[in-house]
Structure 1
Amino acid sequence: MPDSNVLIYLLRRDLRVSDNPILHSLATSKNHGFTHVLPLYVFSAQQLEVKGFIPDSNTRSPYREARSKVGGFWRTGPHRVSFLAECIWDLKEGLEKAGSGLCVRVGMVGDVVDDMLRKIDAKGEIKVGGVWMVEEEGVEEKQEENQVKKACRDADVEFKIWTDEKYLIDDRDLPLTNIDELSDIFTSYRKTVEPLRDHPREVLPTPSKGALPPFPPKDSIPAQRSPFIIPDTLDNLQSSLLKPLSAHDLVQNPPSYPESTKSAHPFLGGETQAQDRLNYLITSGNITTYHSTRNGLLGHDFSTKLSAYLALGCLTARQIHSSLLSFEDGTNPSYSSVSGFGAGQNDGTKSIRFELLWRDYMRLCTRKFGPKLFRLSGFKAEGEERWNSPSRPSPGSSAAEVKSQIERFLNGTTGMGLIDASLREMYHTGYTSNRARQNVASFLAKHLKIDWRIGAEWYECMLVDYDLSSNWGNWQYLAGVGNDPRGEARIFNPVKQAFDYDPNGDYVKAWVPELRELSEPAEVFQAWTVREERRKEVGLAGLDWVESPLLKINFTINRRGRHPGRSRGDRGNGHGGGHGRGGG
């Protein structure tokens, strides 16, 4: 095919066929000049462990293990790799339906592109005319872009970076001449872009079958570099990703999955599932009640559960807005039987747009602050001395004591009911509510004063909906080193929060089954308050997290209302001011 001109479309977190600017351009433009398009996805050896793709267990991986820098956790844990595999497979099937396909590879992204360009050129069967990819924020992401750009320059191939259009407000519409103008306070940003919030750019249609340039002949595409093998089924793909993770315990004493408790996030990955979920949220009426249920803890429908799809670009914020608008304006007859159809924006749909705007903002903060996102001192670059870690214990404590606290945190055995329930839920399912996340972050960073990055890295490992900007930005916010104007003053009282959002203790007992025999919520939330005789009766006697919790908070409740005792945990209203969000 000497006259071929192939475009390599490198996908990262734009795993969808619909509302995809690159595919839309290729499907509608008559003068792009490409005869074929090769969609390419690379399982990055930097961001997830890839040695499971090596069939011979005695062969070493050429890459170092993909572990976090501070805590040494897997960068991408079992829940997210399984979800990611489903997203990739759904993308592959979606591209095939459009008359194209997907090439999957393993390695460092820049190296894979460089190797592919060199081998295609040496083989001489096809010619690569360009490499396109969507811009992402983040230090590693920018490094990847620069590496791919260099590979293209060395091969004399066109390189083009596209605007990331999965957010609510398009970058090209922002009232900023440069990123330094971005306010460090969300409220100021929100007021600036409020007029744009209700007018995102139009959703781009899905390419019709045959509209895209065809997939190159498979024998013209270089094979995966040894020693890795690319699986040919979804099950095998998931097995390859999960294999190295299951070979090592994530925590030393993992909690057992509690009997009869169901996951709040049983959803499969992929664009198809994302669209189904969005449609369900509207037709079920859950979208309308979102504002009043969003701080829930149990069940599938208290929150949207769209965050995992948004994080990987299976769904865009403007697709959500467009569907909401068709419900609010009464233009989609499939929603006509739903209460509120055609009645305009309601509290629920307004709140969803607010959360989407928060995600936008966190991403722009990543662009503005760059590597500061991962620094102990945060955006503010202050207060490093107040953090505890095994390598730098505070005066009066030892490295062993701090390490023990961290292990109990990871195991969900802190002795604080709401915190333990959330951590166990996340360990088992890859999900925990936004309200619970806020409390966990505040507990680790402000009550225990442990290096907040350990918590952020643990979330990166365990969450199915991990998003770099939302995760690290929100952890900084709640640790008091980010863009929360109240900083250190905002401290969540996890006992008060449990009374507010889990008044009967149902959530805590669902995920901490050892507490199910208790009837008093105060005892469920802090088991150390249970009388010694009662502990023996219900099987709590002798449990370290009951006898010696990491924190005791003096908080009582009576008929006249709540009466917080004198505890460091009482400072601040604990409601988060609507911030530290963008998840779920």
Structure 2
Amino acid sequence: MTCALVWFRQDLRLADNPAWFEACRSCQQVIPLFIDDPSPQTPSQLGAASRVWLAQSLASLAKQLQAKSSRLVLRQGLALTVLQDLIKETGASHVFWNRCYDPVSLERDKQIKARLKEQVQVQSFNAALLREPWQVLKSDGQPYKVYTPFWKALLKTGITQALLPEPAIIPSPKQWPHSQVLAELKLLPTLPWDQGMMAHWQVGETAAYAKLQAFLATTVQQYQTARDRPAVVGTSRLSPHLHFGELGPRQIVLLAEQYLAEYPEASSGIQTFLQEIAWREFAGYLLYHFPQTLHEPLDQRFNQFQWATQYQVQLQRWQQGQTGIPIVDAGMRELWQTGWMHNRVRMIVASLLTKNLLIPWQEGEAWFRDTLVDADLANNVLGWQWVAGCGADAAPYFRIFNPILQGEKFDPAGEYVRRWLPELAGRAVKEIHHPRVLGDGWNYPLPITDLSLSRRLALERYAQMRA
């Protein structure tokens, strides 16, 4: 009798899940499994905010499975050891999983597959990307480093694909193996700071699909312009659902294309939205082909860049939203309270850190990885290198966001700043984005740096690097 272990990772859904579908289709017994591997995996280890989301997502998945007379088996330990133990306990003949594409997971999975193939049949699938990273290459066989030609090549492969249905029948084993309880994984913090953060979210596959439908019904037609306005609901906020695989990119593309067929007037919004999904695809693609970018700049010239060295006080002020620059502080406090930050504001806060304060981009990437519920490793690395000027499709090194002008342009009435900085709620519109001057009576810190002087210093150091 065939028995399959389905190892869930960043694919916490039952619909359009290739590993799950194939196991239920081809095996007589199916055991859903999640492994919390505590071994130090450096960048691929989840940060504190993401572990909170994971706890709720696992609870949601377990509830879905229970409603279908199945169970989610939870284990903590080294992935290979846990899998080998369960193969012995259950007599499993097959192991299925969906691939992760970061270099740490790829190397681990390669070793696990080689070892397990001595005992059972092992199959892995693609559930996270529209296309495998090795399927979209230039004519000379090399990977793309610029988004636009990558996007055009991706379109040629066909981004709209048929979806796998949720299995109608889940074949259960005759005897279930032991499962740890969710609390034993210790995903939640000792102090309950997570409760306020998660009050802003609904977690799980059902919530993710409902959010996508609501976005298409109410927001996507204005998406092209509204997505840059942090004070309004102008984005999909699907990023954490994508990160944990509660929703897959194929599902998003197909539903968006179906909506476009019914409402052609939404064309500009839909196309812009699909290009943002492709940016996520590009991030995973780049990390696969250039794994060194986890720690090093893609543009090797930046190995010579003169970053600041004594910056702990400035870094802490930035982390705590106490820079004295309203749009930046609003973004950092939104992050702290909700585990998320608007994308336009992410670019602004990253520019201040790397270009005005000259703090290495790796510091910002590490902070985001720990505090974002959508801390996707590939997206995070791509975004920080893009803003710092050292990555693929990077903003030119001389493009330094002025956070005052950015605030005035994208939060003109100051609604976003007032929402997250109550100490500035009484400021007039014309003053809301301007750092205070000494003695003006506001309970708000002085600016962390002189924006003009720090911009000039950054340009000088970029020039030295190029020379």
Q: What aligned pairs does 1:67-466 form with structure 2 within 5 A after superposition? A: 75-77=46-48, 79-117=49-87, 119-120=88-89, 126-153=90-117, 156-162=119-125, 164-167=126-129, 169-171=130-132, 174-176=135-137, 181-196=142-157, 199-208=159-168, 210=169, 212-218=170-176, 221=177, 223=178, 229-231=180-182, 236=183, 240-244=186-190, 246=191, 266-283=200-217, 285-299=218-232, 301-330=233-262, 341=263, 343=264, 346-370=267-291, 372-375=292-295, 377-388=296-307, 393=309, 399=310, 402-466=311-375
Q: 1:215 to 1:144 in 2, by over 3 A?
A: farther
Residue type of the alignment partner of 1:15: L
1:6 to partner: Cα distance: 1.4
Deviation at 1:424, TM superposition (A): 0.9
Change (3 A) 1:388 1:115: farther
Deviations 1:537-569 (A, max 9, x none): x4x2xx6x32xx221236xxxxxxxxxx99549
Give the direction of change, closer, same or farther, for the CA distance of 1:179–1:422 in structure 2 (3 Å limit).
farther
**Residues in 1 aligned to 2:374 and 2:314: alpha-carbon distance in whole angstroms:** 26
Aligned to 2:449: 551
Q: Which residue of 2 aligns with 1:53?
A: none
CA distance in 2, matches of 1:303, 1:288: 11
- SS of 2:81's partner is helix
Aligned residue in 2 for 1:497: 406
The share of aligned pairs that are identical, in percent, is 24
| TM-fit CA distance, 1:111 | 2.8
- Whole-Å separation in 2 of the counterparts to 1:187 and 1:177: 12
1:336 corresponds to which residue?
Answer: none
CA distance in 2, matches of 1:566, 1:453: 20
| Local SS of the residue matching 1:524 | coil
Asked if structure 1 preserves the Cα contact closer than 8 Å seen for 2:386 and 2:395, the reply is: no
Going from structure 1 to structure 2, the CA distance change for 1:319 and 1:75 (only over 3 Å counts) comes to: closer
Deviations 1:453-472 (A, max 9, x none): 11101111111111111111
Q: Contact conserved, 1:179 with 1:368, CA < 8 A, in 2?
A: no
Q: Which amino acid aligns with 1:386?
A: F
Per-residue deviation, 1:510 = 1.7
How far 1:194 moved relative to its partner?
2.9
Counterparts of 1:67 and 1:189, CA distance in 2: 29
Partners of 1:348 and 1:131 in 2: CA distance: 41
Contact 1:166–1:313 under 8 Å retained in 2: yes
SS at match of 1:525: coil
By how many angstroms is 1:352 displaced?
A: 0.9
* Contact 2:138–2:144 (Cα < 8 Å) also in 1: no
Say which one has the larger Rg. Answer: 1
SS in 2 for 1:527: coil
Per-residue CA deviation, residues 243-283 of structure 1 (Å, 9 max, x unaligned), is 34x39x99xxxxxx9xxxxx898222110100111121233
How many equivalent pairs are there? 458
1:408 deviation in Å? 0.9
Q: Compute the displacement of 1:312 (Å).
A: 1.0
Distance 2:336 2:313 in 1: 18
Q: Does residue 18 in structure 1 map to residue 15 in structure 2?
A: yes
Shift in Å, 1:110: 2.5
4+ runs deviating over 6 angstroms:
66-69
Find the aligned partners of 2:94 and 2:369 in 1 and give their Cα distance: 33
Give structure 1 stretches of 5+ with no counterpart.
Answer: 47-63, 121-125, 251-256, 258-262, 331-340, 394-398, 555-564, 572-584
- TM-score normalised over the length of structure 2: 0.89
Letter in 1 for 2:219: N
1:473 alignment counterpart: 382
1:72-131 CA-partner distances (Å, limit 9, x unpaired): xx9411x322221221122222233444321111223223223333x42xxxxx421121
Tell me which of 6, 13, 38 is aligned to 1:45: 38
**Separation in 2, partners of 1:467, 1:407:** 23
Q: CA, structure 1 residues 113+404, in 2 after alignment: closer, same or farther (shift >3 Å)? A: same
**How far, CA to CA, are the matches of 1:410 and 1:41 in structure 2?**
33
Q: Which residue of 1 aligns with 2:465?
A: none
**Residues 127 and 404 from structure 1, CA distance in 2 versus in 1: closer, same or farther, beyond 3 angstroms?**
same
Is the contact made by 1:287 and 1:348 (CA closer than 8 Å) also made in structure 2? Answer: yes
Q: Are the structure 2 counterparts of residues 27 and 116 from structure 1 closer, same or farther at C-alpha, using a change threshold of 3 Å?
A: closer
The alpha-carbon deviation at position 26 of structure 1 amounts to 3.5
Change (3 A) 1:216 1:45: farther
Q: Match of 2:451, as an amino acid?
A: I
Q: For 1:180 and 1:496, how far apart are their aligned partners in 2? A: 43
CA displacement at 1:41 relative to structure 2: 0.7
RMSD: 3.0
What residue ranges of structure 2 are gaps of 5+ in the alignment? 460-467
The one-letter amino acid of 2:145's match is D
1:366–1:316: structure 2 CA closer, same or farther, 3 Å change rule?
Answer: same
From the two aligned structures, give the one with the greater helix fraction.
Answer: 2
- Classify the secondary structure of the residue corresponding to 1:241: coil
SS of alignment partner, residue 373 of structure 2: coil
TM-score, scaled relative to structure 1: 0.72
Aligned equivalent of 2:464:
none
Partner Cα separation in structure 1 for residue 65 and residue 342 of structure 2: 33
